Amino acid sequence: LVFDEATSALDSLTEEEIGRTVRELSGSRQHITVLIAHRLSTILHADRIFVLERGQVAEHGRHAELLAQKGLYYAMWRQQIGERKEVAVAG
C-alpha cells in the first residue's frame, strides 16, 4: 500500500482514525505500507522512517532513534510540535 500525503488536509482526529486503520491493516497482513508525509505525526508509529533532504536519504530509523540523533528529523519534529503549541495558545 502507498499513501502519499493521505492525511495532509485532515483534522487531527480524522488523521488519527486513518492512522489507526493503516496500522491495523499493516499489522494483520504480510505486506509493505509506504507512508509519504510532511506531517510527522502521520508516520510516528512507522517501523522505519526515511528522512529525505534534496532527494537523498539524510537519516533513517525509528521515531525515538531519530529524535535521539538530534538531526534533521529532530529539527522538523521540534518545529511541528512548536507550531501545534502556538495554535493551541492562539485558539
Residues 23 and 56 in one domain: no
Coarse DSSP helix, strand, coil percentages of the chain, rounded to the nearest 5 percent: 50, 20, 30
For 32-90, write each residue's pLDDT tens digit: 888 888 888 888 888 899 999 999 999 999 999 999 999 999 999 999 887 555 444 44
CA 71 – CA 51 distance, rounded (Å): 10
How many domains does the chain contain in total? Answer: 2
- What is the residue range of 87's domain? 48-91
pTM above 0.85? no
Residues 26 and 61 in one domain: no
CB 7 within 8 A of CB 1: no
Residues 36 and 66 in one domain: no
Per-residue pLDDT at 17? 81
Per-residue pLDDT at 88? 46
CA 62 – CA 46 distance, rounded (Å): 7
**What confidence category does residue 28 fall into, taking pLDDT thresholds of 50, 70 and 90?**
low
Residues 55 and 86 in one domain: yes
CA 83 – CA 91 distance, rounded (Å): 12
